[in-house]
A = this chain, B = another copy of it.
Amino acid sequence: MPRGPLMIIGGAEDKLRRRTILREFVAAAGGPEARIAVIPTASSLGPEVVEVYDALFRREGAAEVVTVRPESREEAQDPDLVEALGKATGIFMTGGNQLKLSSMVCGTPVGDAIVAAHRAGTVVAGTSAGASIQSSHMVAFGVGGTTPKQRMTQVAAGLGLLQSVVIDQHFEQRSRYGRLLMIVAQSPQLLGIGVDEDTAAVVEHEVDEATGTDRDVLRVLGRGAVTVMDGSHIVTNAYEAKRSAPLLASGVVLHVLPEGAAFDLTARALVPPRASVDPSEEAELVEAGKDLRQMARDIAAGDASPSTLKRRQAREAKKSKKSTDHASDRSQDGAPS
């Protein structure tokens, strides 16, 4: 069984209009068969945070929505909560304070149940704090700003559903370039992943049966972008820069990925986008190809010179005019170009 998909949501996912991301999550959890466990531990809000997601997931057609809300490490031992996570076909962690969430669940039976569910193929999603906690190394808190400075931010340990990355959220909206660059400069083996609001990085574990190789592929969904920072070849002074001084961080490779883009986290490389085709350009090329093939035959038979093409194209254009009612005068002037 392959590991389940991860949905790393940058916060403020659309809940009223397009609802692209929440809809995608419910579909991944089984649609009408979905049994969703909501973990609102990060939140400082009361039951209302659960009520909102309960209503949203049911509106998208989920069969069942349960709450798993440990509010201490003691409560995170509760076998009922562990059982609920085991039965879920989708797990959703809300926003709030990721350090509250991680300090209450990581390394407890509830935390272990989330990891086990992911390994067994269950989709695990989280927004804002619930996004941050998914990586092995987690941004605990910090300040905004685009220039990386020493001590802008603190790293804590996350759930580790995704290894060797560090995730940041509300990335564009709270201007978090600097703090993510700081972490990558201090720990270049971590790939920095910054997710904008109303945007999800969907990570799937793919196994190539033929070669036996596997890889994690990140795909982007939603209105903003996912920014990936690769410090593999960084030159930095992060090990000696002074308190709050800007850091040297030279040679960081940046990938800004909008919806539809795919990134191979294992190879740290863009999955080449498929070229988009302009239909009229394509049709024109097909026509020209036909002409050229005919001309090649004519030349081979010794009865045509290259200038024949132009005459033939003019003839074809005339013919095509006769066969349509709305051809303009202009189309008679010459061959298609």
Contact = CB atoms under 8 A, between A and B. Distances in A.
Interface string A225-259: 10101000001010011000111111111111111
A147 interface: yes
Contacts of A175: 146, 175
Contacts of A302: none
21 contacts: A146-B171, A146-B175, A147-B256, A172-B178, A177-B177, A181-B254, A223-B246, A225-B246, A235-B270, A235-B272, A237-B273, A240-B276, A246-B258, A246-B259, A248-B256, A249-B254, A249-B256, A250-B263, A251-B254, A252-B254, A253-B254
Contact of A248 (B224, B251, B273): B273
A240 to B, nearest CB: 7
Interface residues of A, number: 42
A148 B225 CA distance: 9
Given A147-B196, A276-B240, A257 B253 contact: no
A196 B246 CA distance: 10
A261 interface: yes
B247 A251 contact: no
Given A172-B178, A177-B177, A261-B248, A147 B224 contact: yes
Nearest to A146: B172
